[in-house]
Amino acid sequence: MTERITTYYKDHPLRIILLAGLFFRLLAVIFSKGFGWIDDQFLVVEIAQSWVDGTDYYGWLPDEQGINVPKGFSFFYVSLHYLIFKFLELIKMTDAQSKMYIVRLLHALWSLLIISGGYIIVKKLSTDSAARLAGWLLALLWFFPFLSVRNLVEFVSIPFLIWGVQKIITDTKRNRHFYWLWIGILFGLAFNIRYQTMLFTGGVGLVLLFQRKWLETFLVAAGILLTILIFQGIVDYLIWDEAFIQLQGYINYNIQHATEYLTAPWYFYLIVILGLLVPPVSFYLAMGFFKSWKKTLIFFIPTLIFIIFHSVFPNKQERFIITIIPFIIIGGMIGWHQIIKNIEDKPTQLKWHRASWIFFWIINFILLIPVSTMYSKKARVEAMVYLSQYDDLKYFIVDDVNKSVLRAPPIFYLDNWAHYTALMEYDDLDAFKEQPKWKNIAKQPGFVIFMESKNINSRVAFMSSVFPGLTFEKLIEPGMMDRVLHWLNPINDNQNIIIYRNTAIYPDQLSDE
């Protein structure tokens, strides 16, 4: 059996690599519930489902009062989820967790294009062995299966970029004009998912111009502009009566608020890249990436432009750089195989090289399983799932008085677009307590959700003085990996959530589970 598998792998390496990559992505589909960041939940999933339910809960669409304004985000990716959720509703799949199994599966399958595209590019520009190793890295790198099932635009846009680069490198002879236009369309679709990919595709255009491929550059640009015109210009005009208003809003917001988020030194992303790819192999890939620049110019320059821009721009978050990680792996493997082509003649270096890769794969597999099966933001999700059994819930309160930035509840999992009030550390508690509306039981919250256990007794006592009917209902703890991440970096706020029920609204508990 082992011999047959080995023989099959020699004949069809990409198939085996894709199957391995799919296996771990399916683990993530099944077990990696929840969400990773604010953006993949609250700027995609929540928006799309609220539109399906006809609520526009977050105010992304024009309203009769003229209160809502363009939020500066592309409708393209969100609208795809709207169509998915609409279809699932039509076939009577209404449970939030069930819908997300389908969404994660679709994303997992989509991400396989990164593996196949990367393998094909490396095979074209280097050796079969380099292509196989690049394929394994793209399939099994410890954080890729987790990211593959997230609604994260930084990752979802990668297959379009890989696809476009692959077509430029492999074959552009047939149907010459349409071929280059199609490459531009692929890059344009990436842009409509993640605006910053224009840094990469702009770099591709510069390389084509440098190579004096004037017609090809024009056709690629035409394909990009066509998709932008349709999905940014026409769509925005139909919704807001002004073309490209979301794109303008996004650019203006990021310029005005560039320093209000996480800022870091210019070398921040270099550390992130080297850390994620696990030293010393990460240094091999970095050296190989620069070594291969002549062969990989078509994506070497775009990747460099992408890194430089994000290194200079004040707002720095780890996920921003994820988009070009596969290109560093692809270019890195091509260049590294150039560097070590004669390593067999150097026993000491060969021994160190093999030991380095053994260390890499050990660390990688130690991380791969727990990260691939990580239920991210479990407490927040399960709190909403628990409350969803109270299907007539109209209003609740989130007590997050230890923080100045709200850890928002994912209402999508509530299956009911109930409103809530959040109490933060800057709020006037006395003024909150004295609100006349609390005398009307109908206006009281059905539940109070306490975020984390810090000062919980005094906080419960205060809330009980406002709502005498409060009684303990449920303690929801974060998942194991959430606790580990919080221990490693306290900025990852994954905390206990304590739910109290207002017996004036709900005299009885519906579930003891």
Structure tokens at 50: 């609220």
In a domain, 180, yes or no: yes
497-502 and 470-476 strand pairing: antiparallel
Tell me what pLDDT residue 3 has.
78
In a domain, 513, yes or no: no
419-424 and 395-400 strand pairing: parallel
Spatial separation of the C-alpha atoms in residues 495 and 479, rounded to whole Å: 9
CB 414 within 8 A of CB 384: yes
Tell me what pLDDT residue 202 has.
96
Domain that holds residue 387: 378-502
Binning the chain into helix, strand and coil, the percentages to the nearest 5 are 65, 5, 30
CB 470 within 8 A of CB 463: yes
Token look-up 């299966």 returns 145
Residues 337 and 394 in one domain: no
Residues 460 and 478 in one domain: yes
Domain final residue pick, 372, 400, 422: 372
Residues 388 and 344 in one domain: no
Domain final residue pick, 304, 338, 372: 372
Residues 351 and 399 in one domain: no
Specify the number of domains making up the chain.
2
Q: Give helix 347-372 / helix 480-488 axis angle, nearest 10°.
A: 120
Residues 382 and 299 in one domain: no
CA dist 66 → 62, 70, 239, 506 (Å): 7, 11, 13, 36
Residues 167 and 280 in one domain: yes
Residues 57 and 151 in one domain: yes
Token look-up 């007794």 returns 457
Q: Give the H or E element holding residue 499.
A: strand 497-502
Spatial separation of the C-alpha atoms in residues 462 and 279, rounded to whole Å: 51
Tell me what pLDDT residue 43 has.
94
Q: Is 455 left (phi over 0), alpha (psi -120 to 50) or beta?
A: left
Tell me what pLDDT residue 261 has.
72
Tell me what pLDDT residue 504 has.
92
CB 501 within 8 A of CB 447: yes
Tell me what pLDDT residue 305 has.
97
Residues 367 and 435 in one domain: no
Spatial separation of the C-alpha atoms in residues 31 and 28, rounded to whole Å: 5
Tell me what pLDDT residue 491 has.
60
Question: Which ranges constitute the DSSP H helices of 292-341?
Answer: 297-312, 325-339
Residues 365 and 387 in one domain: no
In a domain, 511, yes or no: no
In a domain, 108, yes or no: yes
- One digit per residue, pLDDT tens: the chain, 513 residues? 777 878 888 889 999 999 999 999 999 999 999 999 999 999 999 999 999 999 999 999 988 777 788 888 889 999 999 999 999 999 999 999 999 999 999 999 999 999 999 999 999 999 999 999 999 999 999 999 999 999 999 999 999 999 999 999 987 666 688 889 999 999 999 999 999 999 999 999 999 999 999 999 999 999 999 999 999 999 999 998 889 899 888 888 888 876 767 778 889 999 999 999 999 999 999 999 999 999 999 999 999 999 999 999 888 888 999 999 999 999 999 999 999 887 777 888 889 989 999 999 999 999 999 999 999 999 999 999 999 999 899 999 999 999 888 889 999 999 899 999 999 999 999 999 999 999 999 999 999 999 988 899 999 999 999 999 899 999 998 887 777 666 556 665 667 899 999 999 998 888 655
Q: Give the H or E element holding residue 252.
A: helix 245-256
Domain final residue pick, 337, 372, 407: 372
Q: Give the H or E element holding residue 476.
A: strand 470-476
Residues 412 and 363 in one domain: no
Tell me what pLDDT residue 199 has.
96
Q: Nearest-CA neighbor of 38 among 375, 401, 380?
A: 380
In a domain, 508, yes or no: no
Q: Nearest-CA neighbor of 98 among 412, 454, 424?
A: 412
Residues 208 and 187 in one domain: yes
